């Protein structure tokens, strides 16, 4: 009898497919909003806390009315299905109205970070073929808005002497520009004819028409512009809802900029898709000012049931002075993303807020959130499955070696992803698009992971972050996890610096806790302690970093992640050969 392949030889390979948990259909984003208006027209869609104090709100009915009004005005400007418009704005209610209005008429929004130099913003608009720019700038930032419009108006229009179209919100529109307020006409309703025209255009928009383009973080180089159509992004939102349990009707806090992937995928577009009330603020309040008291009060006053908490907000909440019990008493679920949770910080958060179910999600701009894990008690952080994440529904995942072949379970390799939420392409970057995916349409994440017997993945490192010392490849996370246990270490990132003898050496970039003693003395003590934690390995070398560098704060990427690239450069300038 001929030999046969044992079934467990196949099942032992790193591959998993999670079945869809919801049926697919051909609706586009604003269809979901219109359905939600029928169900709960007076529910708040969004609540905004600006920098100067106070708050403003918009209901589902108002969001529908204003987005139809704006869509009617945009149609009159001549914008058509498939055209692109650059949107540059801070977090504001107008941002959400603009998103819904453009989606209604099939206009693709290119998101640009608010605060980008005017020349960079206009160059983005030109390189992506935008027909218009929409700029929101309020109060003291009005001059910034005007500078973008002035730069944009220098752009020649094919076959026309008229200046290119610019729509201004919050600041005065000069000659040749249009005012957002005039287009929306907040004190009057659209005419029956305008409404009919908008819904006629909306009915012609299909699920594979472009919806939006987001910028990657730039952690591995120049940020790329990631294009999604309606169908793809709706599947991203399905995955987002899987990471946020019981989200329908939730009052959900998220402080992320709307132009970032997390702000769109786990923020504004969940309003029409899942029926949330989005509670948001100016990110300067939470990031630069670190106003944890205001955040606590918002969570309580708005009766938030769900909250998106980046690691720095978790840190601020943990280290804040005594927080009254009511501070997080209504929050049932908190979600974190952007970088793996550190066990020590997670344990401290769970100990301080034992009634909050804490989850973390793992994702990327090109695919959205694709894996998650939840913790319900401090003991969960000591479990062997900590940071071992389950794949989201409708997702295929595999782990491969350098030759693109599947590795066995529990073996380190690159994570590849496939599914209906995979992005369409990088805008104006055909070569980048080809390089990002295999011929079989697997997206190459650039992340090193392991997959266990249950099909769950554990993040090891970015391929670009791995450190080659002598003949050994070192993954920073395995060193960081140990150093973070030292009581004087608040946060740590391990990077490689050039070394004449070993090619690279380890440098631990450390943010110290607020404790007595000089930074230099405390770093020396940490270094001595680390030597005891890492005995020499088979190559005769210890994983204890050769260098320690103290920081007050870590540099951030475009979308708020700790920038290893910048830390590596700073460490190399100080210690590199």
**DSSP annotation string for 243-272:** HSTT-TT-EEEE-S-TTSHHHIIIIITHHH
- No. of helices (H) and no. of strands (E), the chain: 19, 27
Q: Which residue has the tokens 């009004």?
A: 69
Calpha distance 528→516 (Å, rounded): 18
pLDDT of 325 reads 53
Domain with CATH 3.40.50.980 in the chain: 58-205
**In a 10 Å sphere around its CB, with 0-12 CB exposed, 13-18 middle and 19+ buried, how is residue 416 labelled?**
buried
Ramachandran sector of residue 3 (left: φ over 0; alpha: ψ -120 to 50; beta: rest): beta
Q: Which of 46, 34, 42, 35 is nearest to 268 (CA)?
A: 46
- Which residue ranges in the chain fall short of pLDDT 70? 1-10, 157-161, 218-221, 288-290, 322-327, 377-385, 558-560, 577
Domain with CATH 3.40.50.12780 in the chain: 224-463
Residue 256 near residue 262, CB atoms below 8 Å? yes
pLDDT of 385 reads 63
What angle do the packed helices 230-243 and 29-39 form, to 10 degrees?
50
DSSP 140: G
**The domain at 224-463 falls in which architecture?**
3-Layer(aba) Sandwich (3.40)
pLDDT of 501 reads 86
Query: Cβ contacts of residue 349 below 8 Å, gap of 6+?
Result: 314, 317, 318, 356, 358
Residue range 466-575 forms a domain whose CATH class is alpha beta
Query: Cβ contacts of residue 6 below 8 Å, gap of 6+?
Result: none
Count of residues making up the chain: 577
DSSP 484: T
**The domain at 58-205 falls in which architecture?**
3-Layer(aba) Sandwich (3.40)
pLDDT of 288 reads 66
pLDDT of 9 reads 54
pLDDT of 1 reads 43
pLDDT of 13 reads 94
Calpha distance 166→325 (Å, rounded): 48
Residue 331 near residue 303, CB atoms below 8 Å? no
What angle do the packed helices 519-533 and 476-483 form, to 10 degrees?
110
Domain with CATH 3.30.300.30 in the chain: 466-575
pLDDT of 141 reads 92
pLDDT tens, 147-183? 999 999 988 766 566 778 999 999 988 888 999 999 9
pLDDT tens, 63-109? 999 999 999 999 999 999 999 999 999 999 999 999 999 999 999 99
Question: pTM surpassing 0.85?
Answer: yes
């Amino acid at each position: 009898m001929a030999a046969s392949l044992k079934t467990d030889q196949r099942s032992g390979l790193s591959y998993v497919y999670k079945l869809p948990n919801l049926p697919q259909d051909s609706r586009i984003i604003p269809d979901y909003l219109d359905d939600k208006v029928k169900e709960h027209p007076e529910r708040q869609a969004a609540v905004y806390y600006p920098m100067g104090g106070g708050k403003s709100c918009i209901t589902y009915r108002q969001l529908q009315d204003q987005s139809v009004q704006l869509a009617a005005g945009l149609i009159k400007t001549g914008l058509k299905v498939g055209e692109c418009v650059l949107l540059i704005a801070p977090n504001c209610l107008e941002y959400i109205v603009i998103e819904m209005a453009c989606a209604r008429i099939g206009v693709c929004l290119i998101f640009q970070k608010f605060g980008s130099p005017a020349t960079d913003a206009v160059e983005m608009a030109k390189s992506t073929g935008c027909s218009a720019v929409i700029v929101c700038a309020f109060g003291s930032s009005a001059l910034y808005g005007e500078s973008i419009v002035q730069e944009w108006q220098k752009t020649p229009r094919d076959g026309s002497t008229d200046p290119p179209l610019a729509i201004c919100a919050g600041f005065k529109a000069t000659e040749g520009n249009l005012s957002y307020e005039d287009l929306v006409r907040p004190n009057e309703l659209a005419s029956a004819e305008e409404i009919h025209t908008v819904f006629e255009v909306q009915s012609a928009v299909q699920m594979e028409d472009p919806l939006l383009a987001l910028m990657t973080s730039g952690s591995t180089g120049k940020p790329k512009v990631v294009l999604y159509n309606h169908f793809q992004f709706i599947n991203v939102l399905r995955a987002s809802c899987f990471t946020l349990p019981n989200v329908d009707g939730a009052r959900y806090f998220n402080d992320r900029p709307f132009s970032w992937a997390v702000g769109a995928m786990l923020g504004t577009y969940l309003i029409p898709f899942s029926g949330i009330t989005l509670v948001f603020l100016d990110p300067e309040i939470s990031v630069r000012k670190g106003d944890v008291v205001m955040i606590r009060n918002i969570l309580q006053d708005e009766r938030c049931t769900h909250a998106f908490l980046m690691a720095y907000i978790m840190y601020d909440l943990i280290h804040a002075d005594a927080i009254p019990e009511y501070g997080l008493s209504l929050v049932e679920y908190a979600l974190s993303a952007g970088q793996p949770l550190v066990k020590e910080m997670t344990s401290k958060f769970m100990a301080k807020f034992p009634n909050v179910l804490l989850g973390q999600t793992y994702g990327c701009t090109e695919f959205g959130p694709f894996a998650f894990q939840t913790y319900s008690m401090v003991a969960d952080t000591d479990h062997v499955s900590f940071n071992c994440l389950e794949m989201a529904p409708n997702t295929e995942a595999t782990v491969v070696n350098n030759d693109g072949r599947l590795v066995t379970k529990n073996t380190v390799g690159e994570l590849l992803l496939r599914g209906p939420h995979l992005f369409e392409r990088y805008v104006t970057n055909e070569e980048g698009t080809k390089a990002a995916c295999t011929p079989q349409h697997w997206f190459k994440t650039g992340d090193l992971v392991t997959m266990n017997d249950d099909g769950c993945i554990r993040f090891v490192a970015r391929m670009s972050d791995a450190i080659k010392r002598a003949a050994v490849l070192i993954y920073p996370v395995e060193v960081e996890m140990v150093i973070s246990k030292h009581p004087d270490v608040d946060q740590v990132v391990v990077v490689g610096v050039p070394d004449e003898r070993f090619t690279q050496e380890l440098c631990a970039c450390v943010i110290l806790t607020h404790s007595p003693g000089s930074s230099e003395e405390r770093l020396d003590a940490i270094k001595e302690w680390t030597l005891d934690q890492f005995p020499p390995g088979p190559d005769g070398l210890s994983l204890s970093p050769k260098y320690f560098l103290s920081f007050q704060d870590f540099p951030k990427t475009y979308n708020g992640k700790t920038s290893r690239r910048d830390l590596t450069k700073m460490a190399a300038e100080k210690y590199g050969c």
